[in-house]
Chain A
Amino acid sequence: MSSRRRTVFFWGLVLVFLFALPTMIFYTTGYRLTFEEDAQTMVVTTGGVYISTQSTDVDVYLDEEQIERPRLFRNAYYIQNIDEGVRLVVVQGSGIQTWVKELAVESRIVTEAAAFNLPTVPRLRPVTEFQTATGAAVYFSSSTPATLFADATSTTEFIVSPTSSTVGYVENPEYEFVTSLFGTSTATTTSIFADFIRDMDRFRFMAPGEEVATTSTTTPTIIEQNEIRLVNRELELYAVWQGQSQDIPYYFCVASSTLASTSAQYGQHVADAVFAQLGTTTATSTLVLVDDRTCRTEIKLDRLRQDVYLFDFFPGSSDLVLLQLESGLYVTEIDDRAWQNSQLLYPGSDFRTIIENGLIYVELHDQYFEVITQIEPN
């Protein structure tokens, strides 16, 4: 190859580099060309949305437009080229509850959210005293499964024995374990606010000079996961960040700096929570500045205006909270941007719940079962 030819080729590629570098840097930072007539400039800035889902078998919509599914075995959607503004994201699918969220999209920023979708029909795994040699649960009365699975499905096979004879069946060690759990547990169907209400009543009728009794309040168990603590305070439940401010989850923070813009982007309740605290520091809640964002350290959980009998983190997640309310077992997200999604996991009012080793066990009329949280695979 001649030296001249090589030189020309080399400088040609240098020119390509000089053109490609700024172009690609602008592109990767969110700048796009637009040829729409109503656009004020040819160059617009865009943002993105990153949605993680619990299943690959869901459909994601952004402003009612379906998003192409990501590659095989991936359960996260990165949606590019979104103009600044509030966008509606819907995650739905067959046999699962729909997750809906309004998210504020900013230029050059990716807004994150974690969707969750519980089964529309509760899925239960029976835990019976006896089971067949193949592991099928055994009920001795046809009315029992009929009651249990009237509004639910069983994830495993069960049989109804025509007699009360246990001959031919084997004892189920898990049953013994579960009964012992409920036998030693303090799980009740009384309100978690009972102590607070009792203290308030006592204070209300206290005679002048009388001191508040401290023995009636029990020391609450600390429920904490990934540095988020669940706190029951004054008839409300809160998720409180305990860690370093730079590690605080994104949903505690807002990017806007005024009450009006925060309200427009995240909802009035978020604006109130942030701006009510501006300039104040209390023992329970503070504001922290992380980079250019303002972050609360606590978020109030939506209890659907019902009494709460039990609260804990949803197994395997520090972003979701399991609440046993008056009408059933619910899962609520801590992320309160726009609103908090709450989904019914198991309906009812007279059951007891225990979470053990990441499994949710329920006792209903002396029957035990595990509530399955995963969506049925197709």
Chain B
Amino acid sequence: MSDDSHLLPYARRADFKVARANELTGRDRRLYRLLEIVPGVAAWGTLLGIIWASIYASFFAAYFIIAFAIYWVLKTIFLSYHVRYNWKRLRHHMELDWSQLLQRYEYNKYRHLVIFPFYEEPLEVLEGAMEGLIKAHYDPQKLIVVLAAEGRVGQSAVDKTVAITAKYAAQFGEFVVSVHPADTVGEIAGKGSNVHYALHAVHKQIIAPQQIPHKNILVSIFDVDTVIYPDYFNCLIWHFMTAKNPYKSAFQPVPLFTNNLWEASAVSRVMAMSSTFWQMIMQERPDKAATFSSHSVSYQALYEIGYGQANVVSEDSRIYWNLLLANDGYFDVVSLSYPIAMDATTATSAWGTIKNIYKQHRRWTYGVENWCYLVYHFTKHKSIPLRRRWSIALQQGEGYWSLVTNPIMLFILGWTPIFLGSRQFHETVLSYELPIMVRNLLTVAMVGLVFSSIVSLSLTPPRPEGQSRFKYIVMALQWIMVPITMIVFSAIPGLDAQTRLMLGRYMGFWVTPKRVQ
């Protein structure tokens, strides 16, 4: 039996875990490189195309901008409707007694493998994660906790694992420490490679020796700042038991970046909540979602793909696409609509916070590398229905394109025909009405921000002592920054990431600093 006999057939391909064009040869390399260029060209082509059209086809540009502004208003309504719906579901799920719901199921045989990869995060962050597990309404003996340190950090990381082991290891069924060796060939340093190593380590140390059936293990890969809500495992196992294809599904909670929300700056809070809202939207359209950040999946599924990739930046989503391809296009995302708490991005200074948020979002938007991966494999994997391949490729492509172009088109380029348009255009009623129309449509779209403000306040943790009540007002009003944050922390980092990919200047994994020491 070969080493890859446990892998699904498509996962045995040599190019299954390709990360970039230079890992391939010949036609495949050229195709992959072309796909890496497409998103950047599409984004730049759109932005420059609007400027060109504003100068040489002002009327067309104006009509396009009106159409786009209407589309934006309707999209806002569409997405706000999803947020509202998920908000209700989230609150309902938080009120449910999940252990009661689980009584009619036999779930004692299942073990939860919980992996916390960490880098240089302070000890208190690791302790917070452990405390979350202990406070969970779940038998801790069913938990296999893996603390996955990075060897390149050195002795300080090892010291933290020793401290955490001494304090918490005895409280869980199993407790494993793995130290991911630095500079492993074929990997990029980051969370993905660390998790990949940890899964191998826990397989070797626990799963194989104890002969735990792979189908009886649910793996939760958590960012180290993840603090679970008490019923997370109950909610997860309930969804697992009731899922249509539990071994062909990933389970996605709603990340609330609220651990340090009261200490975070307004910009940080807006970005954190915006990310939460986006995940709430995706919870309501799981057929279009991929896994993001902390999520759970069966060990069996991971084992069948060799634990995913250790050579990509956006490993949290890539693992889902690996699973989808290996399972011939049939792998679901199941929305838990149940929260997990994480850290909002902060720094010791305002400028540091801005830089960190920018870098974090650039890393997230570098997820566009997954589009290249998907489309490349869609040209190879004929077992996936053609319609499904097209549907996923277009939907993912539109997502990355709109992320980069839409805010810039709406808030900046919407006015270019007025400034760059021809003289003939400037004399028309259209030229004068265009800014009024766009302004009015944007104002309507901004009404959605009022709703965002309300939802955000409802998800905010109780006010800690020492924090002023006045901050509630700031938290309500902070949403007026959204037009700026959309451009500065979504569109520009996205364009940055896509341009780097287009030019073949591949990014590495940048670790978001968790909580300021």
Contacts and interface: CB of A to CB of B under 8 A. Distances in A.
Interface of A: 1, 3, 6, 9-10, 13, 16-17, 20-21, 24-25, 27-30, 46-48, 50, 78, 80, 108-110, 112, 246-247, 250, 290-292
Given A1-B284, A24-B70, A13 B78 contact: yes
Contact of A25 (B66, B77, B422): B66
A9 B78 contact: yes
Contacts of B279: none
B430 A108 contact: yes
Contact of A109 (B66, B423, B429, B434): B429
A13 B74 contact: yes
Nearest to B284: A1
Interface of B: 62-63, 66-67, 70-71, 74, 77-78, 81-82, 85-86, 284-285, 287, 422-424, 427-434, 437
Given A13-B78, A17-B70, A20-B70, A28 B429 contact: yes
B85 A1 contact: yes
Given A6-B284, A291-B423, A21 B430 contact: no
Contacts of A291: 422-424
B430 A28 contact: yes
Closest 7 CB pairs of A and B: A28-B433, A30-B429, A291-B424, A1-B284, A13-B74, A1-B85, A29-B430
B253 to A, nearest CB: 17
B60 to A, nearest CB: 11
Nearest to A30: B429
A48 B432 contact: yes
Nearest to B422: A291
A108 B71 contact: no
B92 to A, nearest CB: 13
B235 to A, nearest CB: 18
B13 to A, nearest CB: 32
A108 B424 contact: no
B78 A10 contact: yes
A24 B284 contact: no
A24 B65 CA distance: 11
Contacts of A16: 74
Contacts of B433: 27-30, 80
A19 B370 CA distance: 36
A80 B424 CA distance: 18
A21 B429 contact: no
A6 B78 CA distance: 9
Contact of B77 (A13, A21, A28, A110): A13
A14 to B, nearest CB: 8
Contacts of B86: 1
A217 to B, nearest CB: 38
Given A27-B433, A290-B423, 19 more contacts: A1-B85, A1-B284, A3-B287, A6-B285, A9-B81, A13-B77, A16-B74, A21-B66, A27-B437, A28-B66, A30-B428, A46-B429, A47-B429, A80-B429, A80-B432, A108-B429, A109-B429, A110-B432, A250-B427
A24 B444 CA distance: 15
A110 B428 contact: yes
B67 A21 contact: yes
B214 to A, nearest CB: 31
Given A6-B285, A250-B427, A290-B423, A1 B82 contact: yes
A378 B366 CA distance: 58
A16 B70 CA distance: 9
Contacts of A110: 427-429, 431-432
B436 to A, nearest CB: 8
Contacts of A30: 428-430, 433
A274 B428 CA distance: 23
22 contacts: A1-B285, A3-B287, A9-B78, A17-B70, A20-B70, A24-B70, A25-B63, A25-B66, A28-B430, A29-B429, A29-B433, A30-B430, A30-B433, A48-B429, A50-B432, A78-B432, A80-B433, A109-B428, A110-B427, A110-B428, A110-B432, A247-B423
Nearest to B77: A13
Contacts of B429: 28-30, 46-48, 80, 108-110
A85 B66 CA distance: 28
Contacts of B437: 24, 27-28
A306 B431 CA distance: 42
Contact of B434 (A10, A28, A46, A250): A28
B334 to A, nearest CB: 14
A17 B428 contact: no
Given A1-B284, A25-B66, A17 B427 contact: no
A48 B436 CA distance: 14
Contacts of B71: 17
Nearest to B440: A24
Contacts of B432: 48, 50, 78, 80, 110
A84 to B, nearest CB: 12
B423 A246 contact: yes
A238 to B, nearest CB: 23
B434 A21 contact: no
Contacts of B81: 9
Nearest to A110: B432
Nearest to B441: A24
Interface centre among A6, A17, A29, A112 (most CB of B within 10 A): A29
A298 B437 CA distance: 37
Nearest to A246: B423
A16 B429 CA distance: 24
A250 B427 CA distance: 9
B423 A24 contact: no
A246 B63 CA distance: 24
Contacts of A13: 74, 77-78
A29 B71 CA distance: 19
Contact of B428 (A1, A29, A78): A29
Contacts of B62: 28
Contacts of A17: 70-71, 74
Nearest to A247: B423
Contacts of B428: 29-30, 108-110
Contacts of A9: 78, 81
Nearest to A50: B432
